[in-house]
Amino acid sequence: MNSMLLENISEAIKSIKSHALRAVLTMVIVAIGIMALVGVLTALESIQGSITSSFMQMGSNTFTIVNRSKIIVGNNNGRRVRYTPVSFNEANDFRSRFDFPGILSLNAWATGAATIKFESKKTNPNISVMGIDENYFQTAGLNLSKGRNFTAYEMKSGGYNVIIGDAVKAKLFGSKGIALGKIVSIGAMRYRVIGVLESKGSGMGGGGSDRRAYISLASLRNKYYYPSMSFTISFMTTNQQLLNQAVDEAEGVFRMTRGLKVGEESNFSITRSDNIAEQLIENLSFVRIVAGIIAFITLLGASIGLMNIMLVSVSERTREIGLRKALGANNKAIRNQFLVESVVITELGGFLGIILGIILGNVVAYFTDGPFVIPWLWIIFAFTVSLLVGLLSGLFPAIKASKLDPIESLRFE
């Protein structure tokens, strides 16, 4: 059995060499389909790993309380109301009421379109400025590469100090320049740089902190406060097992802070960090479906092309088939020979497509700061798909070849 299979493979390779152009074109079509499938799925696995890594750094035991999206709704009386923002007083009241083991921080956006200047250099007008407290970096999973965090005194006094992201530092001072102690301008205000954050890269959820500037909450309220400003409350529990309990208790405490009665709908949202990651990963499933459709269409075209090549091959090798039958080859042997030839073509194309797909997927991963991925499951799946394409495409030509009459075949010109 093994010797017969090896002989069929050897004959298939000889046939491929004798009709190299047609065989290579078919391999390329198969390779493109497999490359599309493996490449996209490799990239998605890498992006998924990047998402998971980003949110693990932030902590799977973290949740945030924010103002519910500003959606205007109607009540029973037909009036239209807007959900109120989380005010600074509400956030402070919650902090005083919420007695749960963990770390609590407050933050708010000042602007998302600031320009930061240092001497003759300046950033693009796309820098976000946030007001934070001394616990923010812990709950956000961020670390300082240089300098220090805000002090308790600075949190109360609203001093003119700022912590900048790595991209802001590189733009103003160069990758090897010294930023600490330098005075930068944000709008009309001047701040002293006291810290620089570690780079988070351009991956999913990573690059935003690199293009931000952080000032104290007191400075935010002194310089950027406006009546509709909404504060975000972040909380990190001591361990992940306590997260559900902490979320339930936080909801009850904040409902008390807002004076909501039993049965009233909560006019705020509590978002868990692991839920955000799960939602982002779920959104990738649509891309997987699209990749599968593209690969299916491409492989369908490849299978039709392969079937055509095999039918032509049967016609061109009719005398060879008649000679093999005259020498004792039965229908099964002839059929297997053509099936093996078809499978060899598609498996070679599949192997090429897998290599190209892994390269393509990891090139995408490189630009999104995702990890290098070798999707073994999808590689096995791709080989299986190639095998099925080869079998299905070669089955009809193989059956046709096996049923040829040996006498008529030998007389074929």
Please provide the DSSP assignment of 230-282 as one string.
--EEEEEESSGGGHHHHHHHHHHHHHHHTTPPTTPPPSEEEEEHHHHHHHHHH
**Extended beta strands in 57-211, E state:** 62-67, 72-74, 80-82, 102-114, 116-118, 121-122, 127-132, 144-147, 161-164, 183-186, 189-197
| CA-angle at 376, arms to 371 and 382, nearest 5° | 120
State what percent of residues in the chain have pLDDT above 70: 78
Residue 43's contacts (CB-CB under 8 Å, 6 or more residues apart) are: 360, 361, 362, 364, 365, 368, 370
Tens of pLDDT, residues 159-183: 889 999 999 999 999 888 899 999 9
Domain boundaries, the chain: 2-55+278-410, 84-266
The DSSP element (H or E) to which 213 belongs, if any, is: strand 212-216
pLDDT at 37: 77
Which residue from 104, 57, 299 is spatially nearest to 217, judged by alpha carbons? Answer: 104
Which residue from 409, 175, 176 is spatially nearest to 315, judged by alpha carbons? Answer: 409
Distance CA 62, CA 241 (A): 11
CA max distance for the chain: 103
pLDDT at 237: 87
- 340 or 64, greater pLDDT: 64
288-to-168, 349, 399 alpha-carbon distances in Å:
35, 22, 36
- 405 or 262, greater pLDDT: 262
Residue 40's contacts (CB-CB under 8 Å, 6 or more residues apart) are: 287, 288, 290, 291, 294, 357, 361
Q: Read off the tokens for 163.
A: 């912590």
- Percentages helix, strand, coil for the chain (3-state, rounded to 5) are 55, 20, 25
Whether the CA torsion 206, 212, 218, 224 is positive or negative: it is: negative
- 249 or 379, greater pLDDT: 249
Q: What is the DSSP letter of 160?
A: S
61 — pLDDT class (breaks 50, 70, 90): confident
pLDDT at 377: 79
pLDDT of residue 411 exceeding 60, the answer is: no
pLDDT of residue 210 exceeding 50, the answer is: yes
pLDDT of residue 297 exceeding 70, the answer is: yes
pLDDT at 279: 59
pLDDT at 90: 92
Name the H helices within 19-115: 20-58, 88-97
Distance CA 310, CA 12 (A): 11
pLDDT of residue 204 exceeding 50, the answer is: no
Q: Read off the tokens for 369.
A: 């700061």
State what percent of residues in the chain have pLDDT above 90: 22
Whether the CA torsion 277, 148, 234, 86 is positive or negative: it is: negative
pLDDT at 292: 72
Distance CA 399, CA 307 (A): 12
Distance CA 403, CA 14 (A): 23
pLDDT at 223: 87
Query: Across all residues in the chain, what is the average pLDDT?
Result: 79
- 49 or 222, greater pLDDT: 222
pLDDT at 28: 83
